[in-house]
Structures are given as C-alpha cells and as structure tokens.
Chain A
Amino acid sequence: MIIPYRASYWSIVSVWIFYVLAALAVAVFVFGVISHVSVWSRGARRQGMGFSGQGVFNLFLDGLLGRRIFRGDVAAGTMHFLILWGFLGLFVGTVLISADYWVYPFLKGAVYIGYSLCLELFGLMLTIGLVWALIRRYLQRVTRLERRIQDLMVPVWLLVVVLSGFLVEGVRLSSQRPEWGAWSFIGHGISLFWSDPRAVLSVYPYIWWSHAILSLGLVAAIPFCKLFHVLAAPVNIYLEGQPDLPIPAETATADEETFSTRQMIFFDACTRCGRCVEVCPSTGAGESFSPREFIAAVREDLLLRHDPLKSLDWFARWSDSRKTEKPDLDPQMVWHCTSCRACLEVCPVYVATPKVIERARSRVVEDGTQVPPLLSQTLEKLYKYNNPWEASKKNRAKWSQDLEIPDLTKTGEEDALCYFVGCTTALDTRAQDLARSFAWILTHAGVPFGTLGKNEPCCGDIARRVGEDGLFEEQMESCLALFERNNIRRVVTSSPHCFHTFRNEYPTCQALRPPDEKVHFDVRHYTQVIGELVSEGSIRFEKRLNIKVTYHDPCYLGRHNRIYDAPRKVIRSIPGIELVEMSHNRANSLCCGGGGGRMWQQDLDSKIKMSEIRVREAADTGAEIVITACPLCLIMLEDARKTASLEDTLRVMDLNELVVMALGLQSESEE
C-alpha cells in the first residue's frame, strides 16, 4: 500500500516559469503595498504605534471573527466569515505545500489525508461564501451594496480561482486515481466525469497554468482594488486600541497633510460596505452627503497627490491630467456632518469618519473661503463674546435673575458643585427652562451649588466640532484658568456637548502640559446627578403622572459617552409613567441634526429635516411627550414639532422639566 503523499508539480514542466511569474506577482504586490504605506507615512504627526493588548484582542474578534460584521446583519457576518476563513485556510494550505516541497516533506500519510480534507472544506467554504456574496449583491440587490465593475469582478475572479482549483484537482484525480482520492471529496466528485485516466491528461497543464496565473494575478491586484482592505483593515482594527495623542494646533504647517498617519489608514481600511450610509442622518434626510462617498473622495485625492510614482515625471503629468478631469474635492462636503457618530458605531473596521471630517474642516476653516457665512459670524461671536448666540456677554446670567444662585467666581468657595450652564442653555429662551428646572431640582434636593455667573465661558465644543482648533484652544485655556482660579473641582453640565468636551477632549489636550500645570476637575452630566439623587432618596416621586413618554438619546450623551440608562431610570422611577422606545434608540438613536455646528448653519440641501424625521418617529410611538437631555436636541425637536405640524399631538420636554413636573415644583412664572 502506498503511503498517501503529495506529488507537487505533477505533470507540469518548466516549473521555473511559475516561479518567475510568482516573483513578478509578489513584486507588484509589494510595490502596491509600499505605495499605500508611503501615503500613510505622509500623514501628519506620526504617532507611536506600540503594543496594545486591546488591539490584539480586537484584531482577533473583529479582524478574524468579524464580530462587528454580524451586528445587524447575521447573513453578512456568516458570508464574510466563510470567505475569510475559506481563503485563510487555502492560503495557509499553500504555505504548507511550499514548506513540504522546499523544507521537509511532512505532508504524507494521515497528515496528508487530514490536510486534503481540510482544504476541501476551506475551498467549499470559500465557494459558498462567494456565491452567497454574489447573490446578496446582484440577486437580492441589498441596497447598501454597490454594483460597480470592481464589485462584480473581485468575487467572480476569486470564484474562478477557487473553482479552477477544484477543477485542477478533479482532473488530476481522474488521471492519478489514488486510493486516498475520496478524501478530497469535491475533486473526487469532479473526477468522476471522466472514466478514462488519459482523457484529460493533455489539457491538465493548461488548466493548471490558468489556475496559477489567475491566482498570481489576484495576489498582484490586491493593493490596487477593494481587496486591499484585507491588509489595511486589520492594521486599523489593531490601532483602534491605541489612545489618541494630543497635537497642539501650533504645529500644523501649510505643507503638512491634514490627517494623521493613523487617520490616513482609515481611507484604505474602508470596505465600502455601506453600513455608514444606512445610518447617516444626513443621507437619511436626502442631503448630498454620505460618509462612504466622503471617505472615497478623500482617498482618491490623497492617492493622486502622494503616489510615490509621482516622482516620475511622466506619471506626475498623467495623474495631473487625470485630476483635472475629475472635479476637485468639494470643500462644502464637510459641512453636512453632525458628528453624531452613527457611522463609527456600525463600521466593522472602525473608520472614524467624524474625526476625519473634523480634521478636514480644520483645513477648510484655515483657508477661510469655504466657511458658510452664518458659521463665520457664529465663530466671530464666540471669539469676542464667549458664546455663539449673541453679540454680547451681558445676558449670560439673565436666566437666573430671580433665583439667587451663588456666583462661584465671587464666593471663593472651595469644592462647591459648579453648575456649568453652557451657552445654549443660558441664552436660548426655550433652553433656559432647562436651567431653571435643574436649579429648582438641586435646591429641592438640598444640594448646594453655584454657577459661574456672567463670567461663564464657552467650553469650546462648537469651535472644536467645526475645526477651529485655535479658537478651541483659547476657549479651553480660559475655561481652565477660570476653574483653577476659583477652585472648581466638581462640575455638572446641562449639555452633553460640554460634558463630552470636558470629559474627553480636555484631558487629551492637557496631556501636553507639565503635571503641575494640569487642571483636574470631575465632570458629570445632569442626568447622572439626578440619577444619583433619585437612587439615594434625595428626590422622591410621590405624585402619579399617567402619561406615555418616549426618550430621545442625545448623540453626545448616548453614542459618544455610553450613557443610556441613567435618564431612563429617572423616567421610570416616576409612578404612572409609561416609557416606550422609538424604533431608533440607544446606540442607534437618530440625530436631531443640531450637532457638528449645524445648529449654527443654514439649512442644507435636505429633502426633509433630520429633526422632523425624529419627531415623527416620536409621534409614531403614541407618546404624548418626547423627553430629551440636551439643550440642542430640545431646541431642534421643539422647532421640528412645529414645522411638522405635530404641535397638538406631541410635546417636547427636557428631563429636568419632567422631573420638575413630577415633583410639583412649578413656580408661578410657569403656566
């Protein structure tokens, strides 16, 4: 009995040609990879990319198992798993063959049989995965999937490679007829088509060479098509675990690329899956923006500008002429984003489009000519008067004029609870109710607190979101200086935006300061404070409120900072309340449209306002009131309720106002 073994290059002559072609394919592949890496290295401010355990963990879960691909689309996750593991298995199998041929022949006997069986299974997985992929894209026509030529060619090419592989095996088995042939069950099945072992011997080399050339061609093509994500995405997934390094605005120079190295990788990691497009509120409102298109447009632009081949004159001329055919990157594209983070939430490979848009905006703002006029005026007001609303500082504390709240800049109290009201809450008439309500609540619960009175600066969030980094730094400096001067250590904010900026952006920016210059303070959002007061019993709801309400998760409280439960707990602790959820809630809540600086811009080209889409969703739950926990959401939804003609069916209330209503704290000034 013959021990099962593998006859490499059986019936193939001039094998050296194969190695030449392979070397060529690998060279092209390597060149392609180097092109991309050189584009990445042009990114500004290289960051340390050290070892990260979290990164490895994510790499395994998201890179190999594709955890995030399963979310919301189990079919996609399964299909991709089959393709990825099928391909990986076959790839490892090929490596093992080389090892067996060049190093030591270990593929024999039971090992070889096990190996053959596994590879059949991997090949089968890959085939099923690819066919499934083609069905999803071309028969089921899943909306978010594109149907460009590339999208057809890549799976078809791969399918032809794997099927031709089975064919090669089948033809070989029909000639060799080894005893162990049945273990390679698919090849075996194919081999049964020919009874005469000599029948296809003459065509075997052709089939073998076709399979070889197609496979090598695929390898060479990887860096030049969407397949490059198989290399870029794992890098990106690994880096997701790394913390962002702070970069002072001063260091940006005119020639330097806008994006950091880390961010440059995003553009190649994108798999064009379209999940971001499905959840983007701007796209949903019919605007001319989609995260996928933005990433693709920037990617093309970066490649055209930084391709290492450009050092060759003829290439530079060719690519410049190509660039003039395509329209320049439209800077106006950047203004649509509300920085709601819905895209990053669903992206299987962690492409942080909101961050990229922020960086792109910083370039547009620095150039100055593509900044919408209304936004321009808003930033000027912010610079001169510390708020984006009024050309004056005098009304900052007007909301509290009847309330006798201590001004912490004057009392010199140490360790007092500082209620950081925020620009919008302090100055917008509707949002001022939020502040008054919170003040009543704290007083009722016996919690001593103060505000910064007329001297309250802006936290700088707006400047940061629209890319005015210089202005953000100035606002941050004056905020920190004020906190330090007045010994402010505990802060509670009205707005999730202020909360987010204090909690996440300030520490990063302060990381560059020497330790003795850092200003430490603890910040919470008011929903957390009220939640605590309810749990510890300082607030007790006695009155019954028999109303049906729904809760709108603000993007900056929910998705950005993962606070979903605290507000819901508070609502549910009011007796009689029925809390129903909208179809988009918690991590996939729909943006109200006010973030990312859009509160201070003209309406863009939407078919229907984002805020209207949201209030209709609220009304559809049958709730009488939609509760929110952000002053911007409050204003946006309040306005939308009127323009959507829902004034009689739906009310909009802030959580503070609901609590005040439940505690019966309304003063005479409220009707």
Chain B
Amino acid sequence: MDVIVCVKQVPEVIDADLKINREATGIEKEDLVMHINDWDNYAVEEAVCIKEAQGGTVTAITIGDDESEDVLRRALAMGADKAIRIDPGERELDSFVISKILAKVIKDLEYDLVLTGVQADDDNSGMVGIMLAEELGLSHAAVVTGVQPEGDAATIRMELEGGLDEIAKIKLPSLLTVQTGINDPRYVSIMGIRKARNKELAVVELEDLGIHEDHLTPMTWIEEVFIPPETTGAEMIEGDAASVAAQLIKIMKEKGVNI
C-alpha cells in the first residue's frame, strides 16, 4: 500500500500577538514559530499507521522554502520513507496553483492512496485536496475520520453535518482529505528527528517542472486582511441566580430560541 501525504508548514498562532503586515495582505510571520498544519499531522499519522498495518511506503510532499523541510523531517521521523520538497522560488501561490503543482509531481509517482488534510490552519480554504483529486482524476472523499484499506478499495468514514457520519466504500487509487481526530498522532522526539536525517529528502525546483504559465497564475488574490472591529452589545445581567435565570430565558425567547 503506497501512500502519498501532502503536508504544509504554517505559523503557530495559538498564543501569538498577531500583527497585520504593511500591505494588509496577511500577518507578520517573522516572530512566529512554524509548524506542521494540524490536519496534515493527522494525515501523516494515518499514512504511517496504514503502512505499519499493511506494509508499503509513505512519501511526504510539501511546497515551500528550505525552512519547510522541518515539516518533512518530522514526517520522516514519524515513519514516512521519503520526502519531496518543491521549491516555489518567489511565486505567489493559491489553492489552484498548489493543486496544479502537486498534481504535476504526483502524476509521475506510484501510489494507491493520496492523503491531505481537510484544510490548512493559515487560510482555511479547504480547496487543495479536492482540486488535486480532480487534477489527478482520482475518486475522492472529504472530511474522513476513518480509513480501512482492503485490497483495491477502502472502507471510509466521513463526517457529515448535524453529528451524522457516513460509511462508504471507495475504489483505490483515491484521494482522501483527513479530519482532525482520526487518530492520535505519535510524539516525535528530537532523537527521532535526528535519526531520520538518513532518509531521502529530494528537492525539486518549480521552474524545472515545466508547468504552463497559465497554471501557475493564482485565480484568487487577497484584497485586505483586517482585524474585526470591536462592537458593543454585551449586556450584563445582575441579580441573584433565580432572577438572572428568568431574565436569560426571557431574552432567549425574544431572540427566537425555541425553549
């Protein structure tokens, strides 16, 4: 079972003080710590678990500068066998361009399954996975919370709305976008990363891939990034527990909550 996992390096923003950059097209990333996109981490773990259960190989791919090799090394430490970094140079990227680039590289590889995360932490677009599947002509499913490969098909579980899950069978090769919580990603120790230094990490220049200029032109661009304006409207309710509760119920009914 050969699996390809697409991973992305994103800034960690949980407790960070975010500042909008001068062009108002994004945030200042200089002082931020970069790490693997959470969804992609689950995808790598899933790929490695499949390999551990059924044999085969795992290849991790990313598009990024040399700092993004950290994310590939981490995937190798978790159990991936080889990694590919596509260096985009100075190119602007959006989901369309990314899916074209990944498709170009993946097309020439041998695989049974491609895993991506549902979305990336920084732009939350959620587009690359499915667009990549279309480019590659693969069957696909999104928001997958369980994968069980069986021969030339896989039984998968997908998260729907309203707390519903769907279980389906999908023919391989296919692309699945992986939801967080599908597994418990293993801890990656410093020793593990050091030991993975011997594994193959190939670097490919974007310019060498021979992709048509049209396919490298972003179809979306960011107009403005801004911090949402502060608004008023917090009502403080005073009194003892009983009267506060009564007030709350009254307000909720007024606002249309069905109690």
Contact = CB atoms under 8 A, between A and B. Distances in A.
Interface of A: 249-250, 252, 254, 362, 365-369, 371, 373, 375-376, 379-380, 383-385, 390-392, 394, 468-471, 473-474
A384 B187 contact: no
B188 A368 contact: yes
B17 A468 contact: no
Given A384-B35, A391-B15, A471 B189 contact: yes
Contacts of B15: 390-392, 394
Nearest to A372: B187
Interface of B: 12, 14-17, 33, 35, 78, 184-195
A510 B112 CA distance: 49
Given A373-B184, A385-B33, A252 B12 contact: no
Contact of A468 (B35, B185, B189, B195): B189
Nearest to B49: A369
B192 to A, nearest CB: 6
A380 B188 CA distance: 9
B16 A470 contact: no
Contacts of B193: 470
A378 to B, nearest CB: 10
28 contacts: A249-B190, A252-B191, A254-B195, A362-B191, A365-B187, A365-B189, A366-B189, A366-B192, A368-B186, A368-B188, A368-B192, A369-B186, A371-B187, A375-B187, A376-B185, A376-B187, A380-B35, A390-B15, A391-B12, A392-B14, A392-B15, A394-B15, A468-B189, A469-B191, A470-B190, A470-B194, A471-B190, A473-B190
A384 B33 contact: yes
Contacts of B187: 365, 368-369, 371, 375-376, 379
Contacts of B35: 380, 384
A394 B17 contact: yes
Contact of A384 (B12, B17, B185): B12
A379 B186 CA distance: 12
Nearest to A384: B33
A462 to B, nearest CB: 14
A366 B191 contact: yes
Contacts of A380: 35
B33 to A, nearest CB: 5
A385 B195 CA distance: 23
A470 B191 contact: yes
A469 B193 CA distance: 12
Nearest to B79: A368
Contacts of B12: 384, 391
Contact of A392 (B16, B185, B186): B16
B159 to A, nearest CB: 20
Nearest to A389: B15
Contacts of A249: 190-191
Contacts of B189: 365-366, 368, 468, 470-471
A380 B14 CA distance: 13
Contacts of B191: 249, 252, 362, 366, 469-470
Given A392-B15, A392-B16, A394-B17, A383 B186 contact: no
A380 B38 CA distance: 13
Contacts of B195: 254
A373 B195 CA distance: 23
Contacts of A375: 187
B125 to A, nearest CB: 24
A390 B195 CA distance: 28
A474 B193 CA distance: 13
Contact of A368 (B14, B33, B78, B194): B78
Given A376-B185, A394-B15, A473-B190, 20 more contacts: A249-B191, A250-B194, A365-B187, A366-B191, A367-B186, A368-B78, A368-B188, A369-B187, A371-B186, A373-B184, A383-B190, A384-B12, A384-B33, A384-B35, A385-B33, A390-B15, A391-B16, A468-B190, A470-B193, A474-B190
Contacts of B190: 249, 383, 468-471, 473-474
A249 B186 CA distance: 20
Contacts of A470: 189-194
A384 B188 CA distance: 13
A243 B182 CA distance: 47
Nearest to A379: B187
Nearest to B185: A376
Contacts of B186: 367-369, 371
A477 to B, nearest CB: 11
Contacts of A384: 12, 33, 35
The 4 closest A-B pairs by CB, nearest first: A470-B190, A368-B186, A392-B15, A371-B187
Contacts of A471: 189-190
B119 to A, nearest CB: 20
A391 B11 CA distance: 12
Contacts of A368: 78, 186-189, 192
A252 to B, nearest CB: 7
A368 B17 CA distance: 31
A254 B184 CA distance: 23
Contacts of B192: 366, 368, 470
Nearest to A473: B190
A391 B16 CA distance: 8
A362 B187 CA distance: 12
B257 to A, nearest CB: 35
Contacts of A367: 186
Contacts of B33: 384-385
B136 to A, nearest CB: 31
A390 B33 CA distance: 13
Contacts of A391: 12, 14-16
B196 to A, nearest CB: 11
B195 to A, nearest CB: 8
Identify which of B184, B189, B192, B195 gathers the most chain A CB atoms within 10 Å of its CB. B189
Contacts of B16: 391-392
A468 B14 CA distance: 24
A384 B191 CA distance: 16
B187 to A, nearest CB: 4
Nearest to A369: B186
A219 B191 CA distance: 45
Contacts of A366: 189, 191-192
Nearest to A394: B17
Nearest to B14: A391
A254 B195 CA distance: 10
A380 B35 CA distance: 10
Q: Which of A252, A369, A394 has its CB near the most chain B CB atoms (within 10 A)?
A: A369
B64 to A, nearest CB: 18
A384 B33 CA distance: 7
A379 B188 CA distance: 10
Contacts of B194: 250, 470
**Considering residues B15, B190, B194, B195, which has the most beta carbons from chain A within 10 angstroms of its beta carbon?**
B190
A369 B188 CA distance: 9
Contacts of B185: 376
A338 B216 CA distance: 56
A562 to B, nearest CB: 32
Contacts of B184: 369, 373
Contacts of B78: 368
Contacts of B14: 391-392
Nearest to A474: B190
A367 B187 CA distance: 8
A390 to B, nearest CB: 6
Nearest to A371: B187
A355 B185 CA distance: 27
Q: Which of A250, A367, A368, A394 has the most CB of B within 10 A?
A: A368
Contacts of A371: 186-187
B49 to A, nearest CB: 9
Nearest to B194: A470
A383 B70 CA distance: 13
A376 B194 CA distance: 18
Contacts of A469: 190-191
A470 B186 CA distance: 16
